[in-house]
Amino acid sequence: MSNPIRIGIAGLGTVGAGLIKIIQKNSNILEARAGKPIKIIAVSALSKSKDRGVDLTAYEWEDDPIALAKRDDIDVFVELIGGESGQAKKATEEAIKHGKHVVTANKAMLAIHGQELASAAENSGVNLRFEAAVAGGIPVIKTLTESLAGNNITRIMGVMNGTCNYILTRMEDTGLAYEEIFEEANQLGFLEADPNLDVGGIDAAHKLVLLSSIAYGTQVDFNGAILEGIGRITIEDIKAASEMGYRIKLLGVSSLSDSGLSQTMRPCLVPLTSPLAQLNGGTNMIIIEGDAVGQIVLRGAGAGEGPTASAVIADILDIARGINIPVFGQPANSLIKVPAISTSVENSFYLRLNLKDEAGILAKVSAALANAGISIDRIRQEGHEKDAAPVIIVTHPTDRDTLNKAISEIEETSAAIDPPVVLRIESV
């Protein structure tokens, strides 16, 4: 029998416990597929006494994940602590320094520190794998780094946060306001401890920038991504979108042009006939477009014990098989740094404005759009609310920078009571 691949697991939350369950339950299958046994040597977490629903008695315990990362008797350090820095980053760095392969589900750490960690891993001759960090059980990292490696990727888009998709879907299904469904999601345990990571688009943007780096051969640039959450989406927006043949999704879109890299995570309108519009609940979907393959769609569970642990074990198996691929699909020192841009594509936009109920106000809005060279496709007034006149405008295709200029002029006229809701209408 070949020598086992020995692993240490730091972090025994939902995913860590799920990983141990898979290794305990499927040990014979894993050994057959890896060509060697997968053996857990030691584990680490905040509490040794907590009941996690798995038997840990066969494994050694380390209170300190950094001590676990340095152990001479492990080959692979599995980091499931989470967080962009702190112990997660320190333990990962120590594991790499001590010649250990690293498997992580930590999207925040890689979105912020991915370039330096990739360089460190490649310089040390070890793997740093992170399939579980993006879209849970969907094998999108492997798809980009392996299956589509011969393609010039032209665009990536997708729904990458199941909590936001759940909230928007439930709003449409129930007719309830955002605040009510937000609380429902919170009671069900769907939200992060800091809810803004979900509803603010941060979690999803972490995933998008990692995919962009692999797809375009660029350095990870989270700071260059443009983020807008779903907090200002109302049931009126959802109803209006549906009446026009669209659904609202928190959509990540990235593309590379001669001008730079566009990475946006914003609520958008997508056609009811598109695969994205059919996505309900907490499911994720990633659409990848390449020059040779055309468009492919990957869909599945974006989080949860089983799906995410499944992605972690897949990375461990690849390491056991001797597969060694650069962290972002090509050597870290070849990844290029490019300017961040808003977008290189023109789209139609949906605008909901809460205007003052005064004579000539709508003319000021129309003039501001006309001054920016933006023509109106359709416009409708939604009745009156006290001294306000809600108005919905759909523009003909324009770029976001031009639209922003028009919105600035609208705001300077004091025609609007509050900032407009602006949603890109995305072609899929």
Active-site residue identified among 207, 239, 337, 386: 207
Burial class (CB in 10 A: 0-12, 13-18, 19+), 273: exposed
138, 296 in Cβ contact below 8 A? no
DSSP 83-109: SSSHHHHHHHHHHHHTT-EEEE--HHH
- Residue 257 CA, chain-centre distance (Å), reads 21
Alpha-carbon span 378 to 372, nearest angstrom: 17
3-state helix, strand, coil in the chain (%, to 5): 40, 25, 35
d(CA 336, CA 112): 16
| Per-residue DSSP letter, 147 | I
Write the CA distances from 213 to 156, 208, 251, 314, 385, integer angstroms.
11, 9, 18, 21, 46
Q: Which helix (H) or strand (E) holds 409?
A: helix 400-412
Beta carbons of 390 and 352 less than 8 angstroms apart: yes
Cα–Cα distance measured from residue 384 to residue 378, given in angstroms and rounded to the nearest whole number: 19
Token match 């800091």: residue?
A: 194
The one-letter amino acid at 271: P
Catalytic annotation on 405?
A: no
Question: Could you list the active site residues?
Answer: 207
